[in-house]
A and B are shown apart, each in its own frame.
Chain A
């Protein structure tokens, strides 16, 4: 299965390109006039499509940015797109704490200047049984973990979303316990598939998709891929996560995409790919079995769902 983006873009080029594209939306992707400055990203979709499996097709920028679950901006799918205009993703810092050599706060720009931004085209499977194919830009979480220098006793990583009720209207209501929290086992976090994404379709990460930096774990249900991260903590025990706290009988810590373990309220055997009419079969680990199945060989996935 082809998934890893082969196109590696140095951060500086990426930044310049980003400036150039700034403000342009989906229309830019349809533009027939190509500019070499950003030919790689918006006009020439082959950069992404060559990383695609033959059964998959990219979802459009519009689909990816107007149909979101990001309860910080409201519980309806259209709310993040409509209500995220006042959110200010810059400047941004990430606090690193817990079991690390030295707790510290990183400036996002500083993190980005130390990593390589690359294209990753991933399937995203929501626990609600819909899915998309998204061209992300980002870097491996493992790179940041190396910068953070966790102690050998660290077995888990916890992530926390920003809490800014004045900019995120959904947080003014206690639909879930804010701030949103997620977590991974250390080996999951170090897996090369796990990335921190800072952009999509060559654009800076839109607010509604988790600006300025979010997690993407493509073999797990979408809610694991926590958005707008401000804190990362290293722990020796399994951290509490938001959905598991809210409804442990429905959402587990692992939340691996698994067509054989149904959600109590609906089947996980099939999914609707956004843009397609007929449902399609859901793949084990969202089709990334080869890359991640070994992480769970000793785990009863019906118990640890």
Chain B
């Protein structure tokens, strides 16, 4: 049996663990140790990390259905915010390092290329999630509305994995695995909803 306290205690460690890769990559980038094409590498690593964190938040919700670890849900907000953090870094790398703030080109790129469009919409949808993540916001919005807003995580996850899938040239194994996990997690939610005992009206 793991209590809320147990999970809360793990937070500082988890915080450092998830933050660490971004610091490492930044350090490697600055010192020229990120390989031959460092901008591409940085962008790939940040984006992949963000997608993995998004999937982990979905997993946490599913795992919290298991009685003995249901308090795991207290970790979800932090991981979700870290996903947003990595998406922001990923997006800024694209805008600043990859295209040097050439806004005309970037806007064209977002409109014309489906995989960039997917990624960009996914990023936009994450903004309301991140900005309504405080307890205060939940109170102000009311739990029902807050929950509705946070259903946006489903299109976010699907679009993010599509963004990755379309980008890969030949071996699509990894993006397919991520999409598979997302679909399974979504199916589980649908299944749960359908089999939920109806409350008396």
CB within 8 Å of B: which residues of A? 62-63, 66-67, 71, 75, 77-78, 128, 130, 173, 175-176, 246, 264-267, 272, 274-275, 277-279
Contacts and interface: CB of A to CB of B under 8 A. Distances in A.
Nearest to B172: A175
Contacts of A246: 170
B37 A130 contact: yes
A80 to B, nearest CB: 12
B21 interface: no
Given A71-B170, A75-B170, A267-B108, 19 more contacts: A66-B35, A67-B35, A71-B171, A75-B169, A77-B37, A78-B35, A130-B40, A175-B170, A175-B171, A246-B170, A265-B115, A265-B166, A267-B105, A272-B39, A274-B36, A274-B37, A277-B97, A279-B99, A279-B100
Interface of B: 35-37, 39-40, 97-100, 105, 108-109, 113-115, 166-167, 169-171
Contacts of B109: 266-267
A278 B100 contact: yes
A103 B111 CA distance: 52
Which secondary structure dominates chain A's binding surface? loop
- Residue among B35, B100, B170 with the most chain A CB within 10 A? B170
B31 to A, nearest CB: 15
Contacts of B114: 265
Contacts of A66: 35-36
Contacts of B115: 265
**What are the 4 A-B residue pairs with the smallest beta carbon separation, nearest first?**
A67-B36, A75-B171, A175-B171, A175-B170
20 contacts: A62-B36, A66-B35, A66-B36, A67-B37, A71-B170, A75-B169, A77-B36, A78-B35, A128-B169, A175-B171, A265-B113, A265-B166, A265-B167, A266-B109, A266-B113, A267-B105, A272-B39, A274-B37, A279-B99, A279-B100
A274 B115 CA distance: 24
Given A267-B105, A278-B100, A176 B170 contact: yes
Contacts of A272: 37, 39-40
A125 to B, nearest CB: 14
A67 B97 CA distance: 20
A304 to B, nearest CB: 21
Nearest to B174: A75
A254 B97 CA distance: 32
Nearest to A275: B36
Contacts of A130: 37, 40
Contacts of B97: 277
A66 B167 CA distance: 22
Contacts of A265: 113-115, 166-167
Contacts of B99: 279
